[in-house]
Each structure stands twice: as structure tokens, then as C-alpha cells.
Amino acid sequence: MAVTPDRKAQINLTPMIDILLVLIVIFMVITPLTPTGLPTLVPQPAAAGLEPPPPARDIVITVRPDGTVRLNQEPVDVTRLRRRLIQLFRTASGHVIFVRGEKGLEFRAIAEVIDIASGAGVTRVALMTE
């Protein structure tokens, strides 16, 4: 078969289009159909005529390097801390207790305060930094 000078070589696009369609189908199957995100709570407007709730009273326990413990700036003996926390949580349940340790303090003292708080029935303890 002789090559005639008026015929030119052309690229056949059909196999390339087939490969691209297969890739598109694969990517469509791999990607999820519905986007997923983090669950969030959207603030709701307050109902008319209702009083706003009273401000939350935070409980902060400060542990000092000399071994003293303060409960909301009130000095408390470590042996009486459990009893004092039980009294506070009788009236204010569901609050978070913040534990603050000053510089130069070993974590052992903070762990002891956290253990006392969990023994008093506190389930939410947060650590504060300076």
C-alpha cells in the first residue's frame, strides 16, 4: 500500500476520551455524596418575656508552691477542700472547676486537688495556665 502525499496523520482521540470518562466515574464513586462537617449548636434567640439566666459562678482552685490552696481567693485547708466542694456543688451542679497552679509547683499537688475534686463528685475539671 502506497502512501499518498495528500493524506495526513491524525491523532485518534477516542481512546483518550474513554480513559478520561473512566477516571471521572472513579472519582465520582470515591468522593462522598453528602458533605460532612462538625456538629455545632447554633445560638437561638431568647423568647420574649423571659428573664435571662443568672451569670454562672466559676469555681477556681489555686494551688500555690508553699502548699496552700485557695478556693475563689478564699484560703482553704486541703483536708477540708472535699467537704467545701460538696457544699458548693449542692447548689451549683454542672459547673466546671478550674484548677490553677502557680509557677514552680510540682504536678503532684495539682493531681491531688483533682483527685479530691473527683471524690467530691466533680465531673468537669479544667486546667488553667498563666
Tally of domains in the chain: 1
Residue 33 lies in a domain: no
CATH number where 69 lies:
3.30.420.270
CA 54 to chain CA mean position, Å: 25
Distance CA 7, CA 21 (A): 30
The confidence score (pLDDT) of residue 126 equals: 85
Host domain of residue 118? 59-128
The confidence score (pLDDT) of residue 24 equals: 94
Contact in structure between 54 and 93 (CB atoms under 8 Å)? no
Mean pLDDT of 101-127: 86
Q: Is 90 helix (H, G, I), strand (E, B) or coil?
A: helix
Taking the alpha carbons at both ends of the chain, their separation in whole angstroms is 89
Higher pLDDT, 129 or 85: 85
pLDDT tens sequence across 11-62: 888 888 999 999 999 988 888 766 666 666 677 776 776 665 555 567 888 9
Residue 30 lies in a domain: no
Q: Is 100 helix (H, G, I), strand (E, B) or coil?
A: strand
Query: Is residue 91 predicted with pLDDT exceeding 70?
Result: no
